Structure 1
Amino acid sequence: MARVLIVDDAAFMRRMLTEMVSGQHEICGEASNGLEAVEKYKQLKPDIVTMDLTMPQMHGIDAMEEILGYDGNAKVLILSAIGHRQKVIEAMKKGARDFVVKPFQKEQILDAITRIL
C-alpha cells in the first residue's frame, strides 16, 4: 500500500481520485496548486504524487521539478487533459514516471500507480 499525495486545482477531481485510490492505497494528503504540492511533499514524504498540469500559482511541471530537486527519487504521475500532449511530453522528459489522460477510469490510475512503484 503506497502513500499518495493528490494534486489538482479542482476539488471534484481530488475527491474522485481519493475515491478511486482509497482501499488500494493510502491518501496521505491533497494539494490544490503547485506551491502547496511542494510544501506537502516535503511535509508528508509520499510514495507517489498524482499531479495535474494546469493549476494556479505554480503549474504541475514546475512543481514536479521542485519536488524532484528536493528528492530525486520522487515518483510523479501526471494527469492531463487530452489537449496537453506537448506538456505531457515535456513532463516526461523532465522526470515524470508516467501519465494518464483525463478523463480516466479507476483501473487506469491504479495500473499506473502499480507500474511506477
Structure 2
Amino acid sequence: MSQKVLIVDDAAFMRMMIKDILTKNGFEVVGEAVNGQEAVDKYQELSPDLITMDITMPEKDGIQALKEIKEQDSNAKVIMCSAMGQQSMVIEAIQAGAKDFIVKPFQPDRVMEAINKALG
C-alpha cells in the first residue's frame, strides 16, 4: 500500500512540483491545502502518513498549523518547505516537531531523502 501525503502550499505550482516528485516515487497524494487552516482541517479528515508544509502562507502560517496538528496527533510527520532559508524559521519548525526541512526550489533527491527519513 502506498503512503498517503498531504501537500500544503499556497502556490499551485509548488504543489504541482511536489506532487510530481511524490507520484513518480510511488506515493499517493490524498489532498492539497492552500493555507494552514485548511491543512489542519484536511489532516483530521484525511489522516495522511506525511505532510509537506509551506511556512509562509495566508490565514495561518505553516509553523502555527504544524503546532496545531502536533497537538492533535503527536505522531504526525511533517516536513516543512520554504523559499527562505532562514535559520530561525528552520529551528522554530524543528522545535515545533517538524521532521525535516526542504528549501525551494525543490531538488527531487533532497525531497525524497527528507520523506524517507521522516517515514523512517
Please report the TM-score for the alignment, with normalisation by the length of structure 1: 0.96
Task: Give the corresponding residue for 1:16.
Answer: 17
Task: Give the corresponding residue for 2:103.
Answer: 101
Task: Give the corresponding residue for 1:42.
Answer: 44
1:2 is matched by which residue type in structure 2? Q
Q: Deviations over 1:16-70 (max 9, x none)?
A: 1111111321101000000000000000000000000000000000000000011
Structure 1 runs (4+) deviating above 4 angstroms are: none
Seq. identity, %: 52
Structure 1 gaps, min length 5: none
| 1:111 Cα offset (Å) | 1.2
Q: How large is the Cα RMSD of the aligned pairs?
A: 0.9
Matched position secondary structure for 2:98? coil
Say if 2:5 is the partner of 1:4. yes
Q: Deviations over 1:78-104 (max 9, x none)?
A: 111234221111010111011111112
Task: Give the corresponding residue for 1:85.
Answer: 87
2:101 is matched by which residue type in structure 1? F
Matched position secondary structure for 1:15? helix
Structure 2 gaps, min length 5: none
Rounded to whole Å, the distance in 2 between the matches of 1:83 and 1:115 is 20
Please report the TM-score for the alignment, with normalisation by the length of structure 2: 0.93
Task: Give the corresponding residue for 1:65.
Answer: 67
The alignment covers a number of residue pairs equal to: 117
1:111 is matched by which residue type in structure 2? E
